[in-house]
C-alpha cells in the first residue's frame, strides 16, 4: 500500500504541509479575487493529516482501485481540496492560477467530471454521506480493504438525508467508512449552533451507533491521533471525527474579522495575508 | 392579526350508503390493472432481473421498503446477498445506488414513482444523472394506477423527470415489454427511469410479435384515419380502442412510444407526415409535460402541421376511488378513448 506520505518520501512535517495548503488556497483566492478562504484556512490541518498521514493513494493514478476514497460533499470547499491535491502532486501547481476561470479543471464548486482526484460532485449538501454508504457497500462487495472518507460540514448536518445515511451506515456495519465533520460553527446565515446543531454533536452520532470522536481540528497531533483511532477501531461500526476548527485559521487579521460564510478579503489584503503566512513558515 | 382563512378543498361528496350489489372497491397497492380476461404474467420485472443476474454479477437491487410492491422481492429471494433493503429512506437509497455504481455495480433501485420523482429529484439529478452513472430507477404506480389519491398517484412524474439531462425514460406497456426493457436498460450505460406495472401484468403485445428497442417508437398496427401515438398502459387502451373503432369503420394506427426520452422524433415525424390522419396522443400522465406535449413540440419544430388531439389526465389532483371508475372519469378507459375519437372525427 502506498500512502501519500510514503510516496512523497520526505520527512516534511505535517505542519509544513498544512502551511503549504493554506498558501495554495490564498494564492487561488488572490487570483480569483474571492473564494471560500475562511473554510480553506480552517480545514487545512485536517486535510494535511488526511493526505499526508491517513490516505492511501497514488498521485499519478487518481483512479487507482486500491486508493482510499475521499468524498468532498461540501463542494464550496473545493479550494481547500485543490490546495491539498496540489501539495500531494495529484494536481499540477501551475494550474492553481486557473481556479474559477473559464475552461479550468478547478471550478469554484467541486465536481467529479472536472478534476482528477475529485471523487464526487458535491455542492448540493446532504448527498455525500449517502454516496459514501454506497461506495463502502461496493468496496465490501469487492472485498477491497480501502476506506471511504466523507468530509462534510456542520451546516450539512441540518439536511435530513445526512441522517438517513447515518442510520444506514450503522445498519450495514460500515467499518470502512469514516466521516469527517468540519465544525467551524458557520453556515450561510450565521452560527450553526443557532440553527440546527443545539445538541452536542458527537453524542448524537454515538447515540445512532457510530464510533464518535471530537477533536480540536487545528491541533495536528490531536487530528492524527483521531484518524489513527478511527482507522484502528475494532468494532463493526462506522466512525466519525468531529473536527472543531477556526475559520481563517493562521491569518490573525482575518480570524478576528466578523466571520461570515463568505469572508470578504479586499484586493490588497491577499498579499498581506500571504506575507503573514510566509513569515510563519514551519520547518 | 387574525390569520387569513384558508380556502380548503371541500369534499364534493355527501355521505352515502353503498347500495346492495354495488361494490367497486378502491384498488389496493397489490392489485394489478384490470386485464379484462387477458392472459397475465406474474412479476415480469422481478423475474427478468433474476434471469439477468445469472450472468451479470454487477447487478444489485435496492429498495426503500417497497420490494413487495415493486416485484423486487423476487430478486431479493433469489439473490439475498445482492439485495439491499435501505429502509424507508429514499435519499440514502438513491445516493447509495450512486455509490455502488461508482464502484462498478449496476444498481436497480425501486420505489413508487411519486417518491422518486418528487421526493428525491435533487439526489437523482446530482448524484446520478450529472455523473451519468448506470443506476436504473424502476418505479411502480405510474400515473393513475392506484385509487389512493394524490399521495400515490404519480400523474406528473414524466413532466418532472423529462427535465433531467442524461436520463433515459421508459414507459412500458405490458409484461412482454417490461421483460424486454429490463434487459435492455441493464445493457445501456447511463441512468434510466422506468415506469413499472407490477403484480399480475397483462400480456398485450405478445400477439403482435413486438420486440422492444430502446429509443425506438414502433407501429404496432397500421390504419388510414387516426394515428394514435401512445405509451405505457395507454397503448393497451389505444389497441383496444382501435379494435372497437374498426367496427364503426374507423381505421386506426397505433404508434407505440415506450421511450419517452430520448424521443424517437424521426419515426414520429415520419408517421405524422403521412397525412390524412388525425394524430391523437394518449398517455397515463397529466396533459402537461408528458408524451403529448413532447410529440406536439417535435411536430411543430419539424414544421409538420396536422390535426392534433391529446388524451391524458387533467392538470388536477385526482380523486380516490376504484381504478375502473377513475379511468372512465378521467378519460383513459377504452370506452372513453373510443368516444373521444368519435367526437373528433
pLDDT, tens digit (0-9, with 9 covering 90-100), for B169-217: 999 999 999 999 999 999 999 999 999 999 999 999 998 999 999 999 9
Mean pLDDT across B97-103: 98
Do the beta carbons of residue A136 and residue A144 sit within 8 Å?
Answer: no
Q: Is A264 on the interface with B (CB under 8 A)?
A: no
Q: Is A127 on the interface with B (CB under 8 A)?
A: yes
Q: Are residues B127 and B151 in the same domain?
A: yes
Q: CA torsion angle for A62, A64, A68, A71 (degrees, to 10)?
A: 40
Measured CA distances, B173 to B10, B140, B163, B196 (Å):
36, 13, 22, 9
Least Cα distance to A272 among A253, A257, A259, A256 occurs for A253
pTM of the predicted model as reported, rounded to 2 decimal places: 0.94
Report how many domains make up chain B. 2
3-state secondary structure of B218: strand
Say if A7 falls within a structural domain: no
Say if A154 falls within a structural domain: yes
Q: Are residues B298 and B169 in the same domain?
A: no
pLDDT digits (tens, 9 = 90+) for B21-49: 666 666 554 445 655 678 999 999 999 99
Domain hosting B320: range is: 215-344
Compute the distance between CA of residue B56 and CA of residue B64 in angstroms, rounded to an integer: 23
Say if A6 falls within a structural domain: no
Compute the distance between CA of residue B52 and CA of residue B66 in angstroms, rounded to an integer: 21
Instruction: Indicate the DSSP class of residue A158.
Output: G
pLDDT digits (tens, 9 = 90+) for B252-299: 999 999 999 999 999 999 999 998 999 999 999 999 999 999 999 999
Compute the distance between CA of residue A259 and CA of residue B298 in angstroms, rounded to an integer: 52
Say if B29 falls within a structural domain: no
> Cβ separation of B84 and A119 shorter than 8 Å?
no
Which of 73-132 (B) contact A at CB < 8 A? 84, 86-87, 89, 91-92, 94-105, 107, 122-123, 126-127, 130-131
Nearest to A165 among B92, B100, B104 (CB): B92
pLDDT digits (tens, 9 = 90+) for A2-27: 444 444 445 789 999 999 999 999 99
Q: Is A143 on the interface with B (CB under 8 A)?
A: no
Q: Are residues B46 and B195 in the same domain?
A: yes
Q: Is A30 on the interface with B (CB under 8 A)?
A: no
pLDDT digits (tens, 9 = 90+) for A106-162: 999 999 999 999 999 999 999 999 999 999 999 999 999 999 999 999 999 999 999
* Distance to chain A for B79, nearest Cα, Å: 13
Do the beta carbons of residue B174 and residue B48 sit within 8 Å?
Answer: no
Q: Are residues B100 and B237 in the same domain?
A: no
Domain hosting A218: range is: 13-279
Q: What is the CATH number for A129?
A: 3.40.50.970
Q: What is the CATH number for B311?
A: 3.40.50.920
- Side-chain-side CA neighbours of B123 within 13 Å: the count stands at 32
Does pLDDT of A68 surpass 50? yes
Report how many domains make up chain A. 1
Last residue of a domain, one of B202, B224, B258: B202
When pLDDT is cut at 50, 70 and 90, the band that residue B19 belongs to is low
Measured CA distances, B327 to A258, B33, B37, B237, B318 (Å):
62, 11, 18, 11, 11
Say if A5 falls within a structural domain: no
Q: Which residue of A has its CA nearest to B104?
A: A138
pLDDT digits (tens, 9 = 90+) for B215-264: 999 999 999 999 999 999 999 999 999 999 999 999 999 999 999 999 99
Compute the distance between CA of residue A31 and CA of residue A29 in angstroms, rounded to an integer: 5
- Average pLDDT, whole number, for chain A? 93
Interface test with B, best of A134, A144, A146 (most B CBs within 10 A): A134
Interface test with B, best of A130, A135, A156, A209 (most B CBs within 10 A): A130
Interface test with A, best of B96, B120, B134 (most A CBs within 10 A): B96
Amino acid at each position: 500500500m502506498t500512502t501519500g506520505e510514503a510516496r512523497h518520501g520526505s520527512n516534511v512535517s505535517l505542519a509544513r504541509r498544512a502551511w503549504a495548503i493554506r498558501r495554495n488556497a490564498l494564492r487561488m483566492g488572490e487570483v480569483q479575487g474571492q473564494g471560500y478562504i475562511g473554510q480553506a484556512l480552517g480545514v487545512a490541518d485536517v486535510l494535511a493529516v488526511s493526505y499526508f498521514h491517513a490516505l492511501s493513494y497514488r498521485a499519478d493514478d487518481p483512479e487507482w482501485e486500491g486508493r482510499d476514497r475521499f468524498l468532498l460533499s461540501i463542494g464550496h470547499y473545493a479550494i481547500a481540496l485543490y490546495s491539498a491535491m496540489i501539495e500531494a502532486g495529484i494536481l499540477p501547481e501551475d494550474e492553481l492560477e486557473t481556479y474559477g476561470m473559464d475552461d479550468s479543471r478547478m471550478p469554484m464548486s467541486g465536481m467529479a467530471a472536472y478534476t482528477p482526484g475529485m471523487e464526487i460532485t458535491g455542492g448540493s449538501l446532504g448527498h455525500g454521506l449517502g454516496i459514501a454508504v454506497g461506495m463502502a457497500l461496493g468496496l465490501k462487495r469487492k472485498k477491497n480493504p480501502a476506506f471511504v472518507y466523507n468530509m462534510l460540514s456542520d451546516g450539512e448536518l441540518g439536511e435530513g438525508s445526512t441522517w438517513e445515511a447515518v442510520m444506514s451506515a450503522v445498519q450495514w456495519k460500515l467499518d470502512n467508512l469514516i466521516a469527517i465533520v468540519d465544525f467551524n460553527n458557520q453556515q450561510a446565515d450565521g452560527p450553526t449552533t443557532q440553527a440546527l446543531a443545539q445538541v452536542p454533536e458527537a453524542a448524537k452520532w454515538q447515540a445512532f451507533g457510530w464510533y464518535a470522536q471530537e477533536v480540536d481540528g487545528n491541533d495536528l497531533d490531536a487530528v492524527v491521533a483521531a484518524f489513527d483511532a478511527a482507522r484502528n477501531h475494532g468494532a463493526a461500526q462506522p466512525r466519525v471525527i468531529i473536527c472543531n476548527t477556526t475559520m481563517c485559521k493562521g491569518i490573525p487579521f482575518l480570524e478576528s474579522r466578523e466571520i461570515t460564510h463568505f469572508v470578504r478579503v479586499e484586493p490588497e489584503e491577499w498579499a498581506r495575508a500571504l506575507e503573514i503566512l510566509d513569515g510563519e513558515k514551519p520547518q | 392579526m387574525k390569520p387569513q382563512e384558508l380556502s380548503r378543498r371541500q369534499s364534493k361528496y355527501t355521505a352515502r350508503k353503498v347500495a346492495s350489489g354495488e361494490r367497486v372497491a378502491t384498488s389496493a397497492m397489490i392489485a394489478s390493472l384490470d386485464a379484462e380476461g387477458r392472459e397475465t404474467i406474474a412479476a415480469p420485472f422481478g423475474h427478468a432481473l433474476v434471469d439477468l443476474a445469472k450472468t451479470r454479477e454487477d447487478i444489485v437491487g435496492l429498495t426503500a421498503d417497497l420490494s413487495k410492491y415493486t416485484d423486487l422481492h423476487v430478486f431479493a429471494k433469489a439473490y439475498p446477498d445482492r439485495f439491499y433493503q435501505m429502509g424507508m429512506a429514499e435519499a440514502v437509497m438513491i445516493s447509495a445506488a450512486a455509490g455502488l455504481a461508482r464502484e462498478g455495480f449496476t444498481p436497480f433501485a425501486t420505489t413508487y414513482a411519486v417518491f422518486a420523482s418528487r421526493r428525491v429529484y435533487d439526489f437523482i439529478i446530482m448524484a446520478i444523472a450529472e455523473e451519468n452513472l448506470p443506476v436504473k430507477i424502476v418505479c411502480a404506480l405510474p400515473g393513475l394506477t392506484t385509487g389512493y389519491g394524490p399521495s400515490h398517484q404519480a400523474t406528473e412524474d414524466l413532466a418532472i423527470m423529462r427535465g433531467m439531462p442524461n436520463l433515459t425514460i421508459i414507459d412500458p406497456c405490458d409484461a412482454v415489454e417490461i421483460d424486454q426493457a429490463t434487459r435492455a436498460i441493464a445493457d445501456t450505460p447511463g441512468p434510466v427511469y422506468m415506469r413499472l406495472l407490477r403484480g399480475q401484468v397483462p400480456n398485450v403485445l405478445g400477439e403482435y410479435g413486438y420486440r422492444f428497442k430502446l429509443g425506438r417508437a414502433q407501429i404496432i398496427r397500421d390504419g388510414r384515419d387516426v394515428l394514435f401515438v401512445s405509451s405505457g398502459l395507454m397503448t393497451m387502451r389505444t389497441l383496444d380502442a382501435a379494435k372497437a373503432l374498426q367496427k364503426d369503420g374507423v381505421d386506426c394506427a397505433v404508434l407505440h412510444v415506450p421511450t419517452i426520452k430520448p424521443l424517437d422524433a424521426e419515426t414520429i415525424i415520419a408517421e405524422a407526415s403521412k397525412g390524412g390522419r388525425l394524430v391523437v396522443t394518449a398517455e397515463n400522465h397529466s396533459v402537461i409535460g408528458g408524451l403529448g406535449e413532447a410529440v406536439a413540440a417535435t411536430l411543430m419544430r419539424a414544421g409538420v402541421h396536422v390535426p392534433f388531439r391529446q388524451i391524458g389526465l387533467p392538470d388536477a389532483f385526482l380523486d380516490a376511488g376504484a381504478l375502473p371508475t377513475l379511468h372512465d372519469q378521467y378519460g383513459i378507459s377504452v370506452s372513453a378513448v373510443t368516444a373521444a375519437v368519435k367526437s373528433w372525427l
